[in-house]
A and B are shown apart, each in its own frame.
Chain A
Amino acid sequence: MAIIYIDDKPHQADAKQNLLHACLSLGFNLPYFCWHPALGSVGACRQCAVKQFRTPDDKHGHLVMACMIPAVEGTRISIHDPEAVAFRAGIIEGMMQNHPHDCPVCDEGGECHLQDMTVMTGHNYRRYDFPKRTFRNQYLGPFVNHEMNRCIQCYRCVRFYREYAGGNDFNVFGIRNTAYFGRYQDGVLESEFAGNLDEVCPTGVFTDATHKHHYTRKWDLQFAPSVCVHCGLGCNISPGERYGTLRRIVNRYHGDINGYFLCDRGRHGSEFVNSDQRIRQARLRRNGQLQAVSKAEALEHIRQVLTSSSRVIGIGSPRASLEANFALRAAVGERNFFAGIFQRELRLLNRVLDVLRNGLAPAASLREMENSDAVLVLGEDVTNYAPRMALSLRQSVRQGPMAMADKLKIPHWLDHSVRELAQDSKGPLFIASIAATRLDDVASETYHAAPDELARLGFAVAHKLDDNAPAVSGLTLEQTALAERIAQALRSARQPLIVSGLSCHSTAVISAAANIAQALRRTGQPSRVTFTVPECNSVGLALLGGRPLEDAFAAVRNRAADTVIVLENDLYRRASVQDVDALLLGAKHVIVLDHLTNATSTKAELVLPAATFAESDGTLVNNEARAQRFFQTFVPQPDVQESWRWLRDAIIASGRQDFAAWENLDHVIASMAVEVPALAAASKAAPDATFRMSGAKVPRQPERYSGRTAMLANIDLSEPKPPDDPDSPLSFSMEGSPDQPPSPLIPFAWSPGWNSYQAWNKFQEEIAGPLRGGNPGVPLVEAAAQPQQEYVRDVPAPFQPGDGEWLIVPFYHIFGSEELSIHSHGVKQLSPGAYLAMNDKDAERARLRPEDRIEFTIAAISYQAALKVRADLPQGIAAIPAGIEPLQGIQLPDWSRIVRVA
């Protein structure tokens, strides 16, 4: 901490930071463009000028760029000095010379940093009357819209896209005032993080292309604090609704997880909420047809079914909230609750939880990953399986070069200097995976092999670190040398990190990662681990417990169960057609709760319309076992309700009146805390429904929400009262407390004068630091104080390619593999079709050629796909895309022959 003087008043500032950071952290309004809290300073836009004085007696001073000057002890600056004020106004006027007259039709309008800064500097009338330069736009894919005339040449976009996110199909072209930001030719932006350009760009050059066809200004959207449901990381989001449809998703800052950025699946994957496949009314099978019925009829049917059935079982879901799963468990009883995933996956999840509980190494948050200076990725293609994590790992490779900067006393925020110094040097990042990944370009070394070989490499690294760890016999020379280099890098790091997870479906791989953490710990090296998980509540489901899916199939087969309730789970995506058919047709009654019509729901006897994440509240547990609450963004059609409410109504209908006490979400959470102690802490994830600020609720709508007396006037002139929200301390209204809500309850970022996302500055304890009062979420897994010291000793045998058979593994795709996001147009456009990929030498030997139609057989079912040939796939391994039709419900990895279809 240092004392700096701003307009002659002393203030505390972080000496490791720059003056702009200090001024904004202290709450001053100082305009800026090129500086970004996550990207650092380059001093390009000259907007953040302040007057600096050498001594208290220096009356003259000189103009400096606040973002380029360290906030060292005794610095004296003036923000309000007339010369500085005039300079800043001049800079804006210069930027505005060529700016088009677009605000009314610009999607940035109302949340435009350029508008905000223009107002802040007081430039309001145009004096420049000469022609403006213009540009042609480019087609950049389904997610990002381009309107190049609006550019102010701040360079944020290329710095984010190329330097931060590692994309190389986007750049700056041209010279002087004609610098052009785009691709070398029209085409889909390749980066999985391109959507962040919408928020990074301070102007309307890049805007959300998926928002265009139902565009709504920020001030007219109803927001709620929410959590992304498209992977297991739990990034925080602000969904926005208007006229009953979900309009868009933007980032909601979380200092430990997503920070300022989301992946494109999270940002653009929620169109399913508006899908015409939505189930919006209960449907009951009558004369073989599913027909819409009222809520009362549905509940009456449930009463008949539940009171006449001998044994009811429930199948939960890793994409449903804790509360929904728990309500299902309450409805059918603990013994009859099935987790909705196979034993294999449950075992992997429990293995991950064991490692986290054991306290060998703390689970790393995404933010902590950025600060790791040596990373080993064991088995994961993070970009496709846990996308946002890839962005964090990309930053970790800068930790090594940062040491060089430290040596030369270059501050870390001086971005351009640090990058110039680092050139191409990158900190150690080893990626051991089945095939090439999108992070390979920053990896120091990559290694591609079968899952068992990856595990063996991991075990070997652990053994290199600590002789007591089990040795691996039969390693190749190459593997031994690589293990040595990895061990060396981890050993000499300040904060090593091991990334592993579920995507290669191998307990051995997870155990190998645990052994490395154990070895590092035993040799006195603090490390961190992180595991990726497949779905948004996979960890929550594992903590809740429940029996595996195959047992549910068995229960129906053995006639031990006659009624099945399926909660938000399309079983055909998990299990083979035979198995699911046997279950759904074998059971006397099948009740399905879900959002979308899918294969499972079309086979049901009764379908109940379940609210999506945007229409309900609940708790999700992410890969670090952090429980986070998501809140309802808008009120859906009357018959659509939260799964837990449907289940509560079902329980009451079946005659258990005591469940009428479950009036709101808090009651469910309270009873969950009693029944499942492992989930007790979930109640602390956010303030409960009774929380008030200055006696009022937190408004979901911005202060200037418009059209209240006209939105519904076509239906009825008398405005309805805003809907009640019994489940949360938020209100469906613009009225409420004007105070800043606690971090889990911030629906959107806004502060007077700051309409853009840059308003997050005003919610943080320190710029780019934690939100005031701490980042949202509570850990559900306590690490043991005394970790268990044992190593896992069952090292797998070397992988043996099959004779005429291949080990078929699933490959995850950021666009396409996830169940709900595939309903978004853009995601669908970018998803690959069905394929089977094979090593080129293997293909040659089997006399197969690319694009040949091939057939493989798993569990006696044959599947067809087009052949892809990839040199990076190890021999003996074949890969198919996970979750992509028609290759669904296949239990992998498994062996199969692969033959050409005539």
Chain B
Amino acid sequence: MFSIVRTLWDVFLHSFQRRVTRQYPEQPAYLPPRWRGRIVLSRDPDGGERCVACYLCAIACPVDCIALQATEDSNGRRYPEFFRINFSRCIFCGYCEDACPTYAIQLTPDFEMSEYKRQNLVYEKEDLLISGTGKYPGYNFWRVAGVQIDGKDKGQSEREEPPTDLRQLLP
């Protein structure tokens, strides 16, 4: 009996305490930059698509919700022909970001992606691509990789010697 009365009293006292309910969405929540939310595909500092269609995010994904197809432009730069994430399956574990060797795929502090139709949770490359570098400003995979692409000849990557002259015989 006493405990019931006491509980009622406690509840009553709470009506004079500070509100904790937040008036979302008028009052947005602070999310730290490393929050694992909506996934984006970023661009390299030159504005090119960062993703090189290596399939590592797809294999790392524990729910297998990433599918893509690699293709190449005529100068050897590889990129995804299509890139699809099924967010109705994604568990926002961030393994794809971990696996990505180019910092292309990144999880962002945004979770506002509810939809009335589940089908709308399937994002294609056009939906995923952002215009900037995201969390990792400086990195450009192609400046480190050894392959030749448009605008970067053999030997022009970071820490590379010029292409070997096969006709010289000096030791």
Q: Taking beta carbons and an 8 Å cutoff, which residues of A are in contact with B?
A: 100-105, 109-110, 129-137, 147, 149-150, 173-176, 178, 180, 212-217, 219-220, 243, 704-711, 713-714, 716-717
Contact = CB atoms under 8 A, between A and B. Distances in A.
A713 B84 contact: yes
B72 A213 contact: yes
Interface stretch (B2-10, B20-28, B116-124, B128-136): B116-124
29 contacts: A100-B147, A102-B147, A104-B102, A105-B145, A105-B147, A110-B59, A131-B161, A132-B160, A133-B161, A135-B154, A136-B163, A147-B146, A149-B146, A175-B171, A178-B164, A178-B166, A213-B72, A214-B69, A215-B71, A215-B78, A220-B55, A220-B59, A707-B67, A707-B68, A708-B64, A710-B84, A713-B65, A714-B84, A717-B118
Contacts of A131: 159-161
A708 B64 CA distance: 5
A624 B141 CA distance: 52
B41 interface: no
B29 interface: no
A102 B146 contact: yes
Contacts of B144: 101
A480 to B, nearest CB: 52
Contacts of B68: 707
Contacts of A110: 55, 59
Contacts of A717: 86, 88, 118-119, 121-122
Contacts of B146: 100-102, 132, 134, 147, 149-150
Minimum-distance CB pairs A-B, first 10: A100-B146, A707-B67, A104-B54, A710-B67, A706-B58, A713-B86, A149-B146, A708-B64, A710-B86, A709-B89
Interface in B44-82: 52-56, 58-59, 61, 63-72, 78
Nearest to A106: B147
Contact of B64 (A180, A212, A706): A706
A103 B101 contact: yes
A213 B71 contact: yes
B104 to A, nearest CB: 10
A247 to B, nearest CB: 10
B122 A713 contact: yes
Contacts of B67: 706-707, 710-711, 713
Interface size, B (range): 35 or more
Interface centre among A134, A136, A137 (most CB of B within 10 A): A134
A217 B55 CA distance: 7
A706 B85 CA distance: 12
A150 B148 CA distance: 13
A129 B158 CA distance: 11
Nearest to A734: B64
A220 B71 contact: no
Interface of B: 52-56, 58-59, 61, 63-72, 78, 84-86, 88-89, 101-102, 118-119, 121-122, 124, 141, 144-148, 154-155, 157, 159-164, 166, 169, 171
Nearest to B155: A134
Contacts, number: 143
A117 B82 CA distance: 32
B164 A174 contact: yes
Contact of B78 (A101, A105, A149): A105
B56 A134 contact: no
Interface centre among B55, B84, B144 (most CB of A within 10 A): B55
Contacts of A705: 64
A178 B165 CA distance: 9
B86 A175 contact: no
A131 B121 CA distance: 46
A709 B121 CA distance: 12
A706 B66 contact: yes
A110 B61 CA distance: 16
A660 B68 CA distance: 41
Contact of A180 (B56, B61, B69, B164): B164
A220 B61 CA distance: 13
B81 to A, nearest CB: 9
Nearest to B144: A101
A132 B54 CA distance: 23
B113 to A, nearest CB: 15
A714 B68 CA distance: 12
Contacts of A173: 166
B164 A133 contact: yes
A145 to B, nearest CB: 10
A260 B55 CA distance: 28
B57 to A, nearest CB: 9
Nearest to B100: A104
B147 A174 contact: no
Contacts of B72: 212-213, 215
B94 to A, nearest CB: 16
B159 A130 contact: yes
Contacts of A101: 141, 144-146
A129 B144 CA distance: 13
A110 B161 CA distance: 28
B48 to A, nearest CB: 13
B154 A707 contact: no
A187 to B, nearest CB: 15
Contacts of B161: 131-134
A104 B141 CA distance: 9
Contacts of B89: 709-710, 713
Given A101-B146, A105-B78, A213-B72, A709 B63 contact: yes
Contacts of A102: 145-147
A150 B68 CA distance: 25
Given A134-B161, A717-B88, A180 B166 contact: yes
B158 to A, nearest CB: 9
Contact of B66 (A137, A213, A707, A714): A707
Given A135-B154, A175-B169, A243-B69, A709 B86 contact: yes
A55 B89 CA distance: 61
A705 B55 CA distance: 11
Given A707-B64, A709-B89, A713-B122, A105 B84 contact: no
A103 B102 CA distance: 11
A109 B78 CA distance: 14
A220 B59 CA distance: 8
A714 B121 CA distance: 10
A706 B55 contact: yes
Contacts of A135: 154, 163-164
Given A713-B84, A713-B86, A136 B154 contact: yes
B166 A174 contact: yes
Interface centre among A102, A104, A219 (most CB of B within 10 A): A104
Contacts of A215: 53, 70-72, 78
B166 A105 contact: no
Contacts of B101: 103-104
Contacts of A174: 164, 166
A763 B106 CA distance: 40
Contacts of B53: 215
A706 B160 CA distance: 34
Given A132-B160, A134-B162, 18 more contacts: A101-B146, A104-B56, A104-B145, A109-B54, A129-B159, A132-B159, A135-B154, A214-B71, A215-B53, A706-B55, A707-B64, A707-B67, A709-B86, A710-B66, A713-B84, A713-B89, A713-B122, A717-B118
Nearest to A147: B147
B62 to A, nearest CB: 10
A305 to B, nearest CB: 43
Contacts of B155: 134
